[in-house]
Structure 1
Amino acid sequence: MKLLAIGAAAFVTLVASTVAPSIATAQTQGPQNPGPVIPGVCVYFNQRLLAQSTVGQAVQTRMEQLATEVQGELAPYATNIQSELTRLQNGGAAVTDADRQALQARIQEAQQLEQTREAELRYTLSEQRRLISEAVEPILVAVYQERGCGILLDRESVFIVNPAMDVTDVTIQRLNTALPTLSFNRLPVPAQTAQ
């Protein structure tokens, strides 16, 4: 059963895909003349912070490791189910309803485990991002005040901006000092969140 291993692989792809576009966007060449700096207008790009800060990279690396661990945990289920399915297909008339029901029960157990592990990975990632956000918030407030910002725009809603108005780099630098990394394991989903 490839479905069991595919779920964890899909999660790794999901995590990577949320970061990869931000890196590509951050590296895109802007216009030769970016226009004037507008006093009081600042721009911040959270996705770039998550992709380029040391803590964001540490979280990405650890999430990939956790997803690989989940794949390793699910792989024996898939192998056993595939073996049992092959045995039943080759068993002909000797296969009983009890055999089929036992296989169906194993498939459901494996699917439930896969769903549980995927939920744990999603929850773990969201908790790490929450911790990063908590560390970034006071940094952004300080940069906002230092730069005399009157408004802080999300870079995802701004197509092109004068780089002098972007506060992401200084925010990344300060976050790298304040929160260089996070150490964590896969977290169980709290009961109220799971429902």
Structure 2
Amino acid sequence: MPAPRAAALLTALLILGVPTGLLHAQTAPPSAPAEVAELPVAVVDVQGIMRAAQAAKAIHEQIETRRSAYQEEVSAEEKRLRTVEQDLAQQRSILAPEAYQQKVRQFQSQVAEVQRQVQMRKRELDETFAKAMNEVRKSLVSVVAEIAEQRGIKLVLFKSQIVIAEKSLDVSDETLKRLNERLPTVKVDLPPLK
């Protein structure tokens, strides 16, 4: 909507709304303050719990250990490919052009295969990590539901979605404590090494 039309509409609404509000204010009887229904609410820091939980830390540790092992394998493979590339460069002047091109294609094929393997392993690790962390998330939700039921809480909000909340509404510490008791670790089904 263009600015002049929006301004005209706003002016019209204000003109119509002011007298109506004045008349309504004159005829409305005084009323008692509105009663606010109490809604038992809690706040939980899911992100903080997912970082601090023992099981999540164990998952991170297992994944990073495997990632390091993969990196060692990749480094060894890169070293081997550099040697092959250097040998290929030395053979360029010795080999016939067709033979050299064939070796170049073989080398490029080896490089592509290594890159494919690296991407596949990264994807496998990411999927394995997500699956393991999902176990922690499920247990976390179960613990929060249990706390809510025990305390008669009707609404649980993510702390990340709240601007201001009374500290007494935060059940994160209790949730973390119970989660660590219920799920101290998660065995990650890691893909095998080479």
SS of alignment partner, residue 152 of structure 1 = strand
Q: 1:163 to 1:82 in 2, by over 3 A?
A: farther
Runs of 4+ in 1 over 6 A off after TM superposition: none
Greater alpha carbon shift after TM alignment, 150-159 vs 170-179: 150-159
Distance 1:167 1:61 in 2: 27
Number of the residue aligned with 1:64: 64
Bigger relative contact order, structure 1 or 2, given CA contacts below 8 A and separation 6+? 2
**Contact 2:50/2:137 (<8 A) preserved:** no
User: What are the within-5 Å matches in structure 2 for residues 1-195 of structure 1?
Assistant: 40-94=40-94, 96-187=100-191
Distance 1:167 1:187 in 2: 36
Number of the residue aligned with 1:12: none
Number of the residue aligned with 2:29: none
Greater alpha carbon shift after TM alignment, 172-181 vs 86-95: 86-95
Distance 2:39 2:87 in 1: 73
Q: One-letter code of the match for 2:47?
A: Q
SS of alignment partner, residue 93 of structure 2 = helix
Q: Report how many aligned residue pairs link the two structures.
A: 151
**Contact 2:43/2:172 (<8 A) preserved:** yes
- Structure 1 length-normalised TM: 0.70
**Contact 1:139/1:175 (<8 A) preserved:** yes
- Structure 2 length-normalised TM: 0.70
Deviation at 1:183, TM superposition (A): 2.1
SS of alignment partner, residue 42 of structure 1 = strand
Deviation at 1:91, TM superposition (A): 3.5
Structure 2 unaligned blocks of 5 or more: 1-37
**Contact 1:66/1:185 (<8 A) preserved:** no
- Cα deviation, 1:49-105, whole Å, max 9, x if unaligned, reads 121111111111111111111112222211111222223334432350111011111
Deviation at 1:160, TM superposition (A): 4.0
Q: One-letter code of the match for 1:78?
A: E
Number of the residue aligned with 1:27: none
Flag the structure with larger Rg: 2
**Contact 2:59/2:186 (<8 A) preserved:** yes
SS of alignment partner, residue 128 of structure 2 = helix
Distance 1:149 1:42 in 2: 7
**Contact 2:42/2:171 (<8 A) preserved:** yes
Q: One-letter code of the match for 1:84?
A: V
Sequence identity, in percent? 21
Distance 2:93 2:87 in 1: 12
Q: 1:137 to 1:187 in 2, by over 3 A?
A: farther
Aligned-residue CA RMSD (Å) = 2.0
**Contact 2:39/2:155 (<8 A) preserved:** no
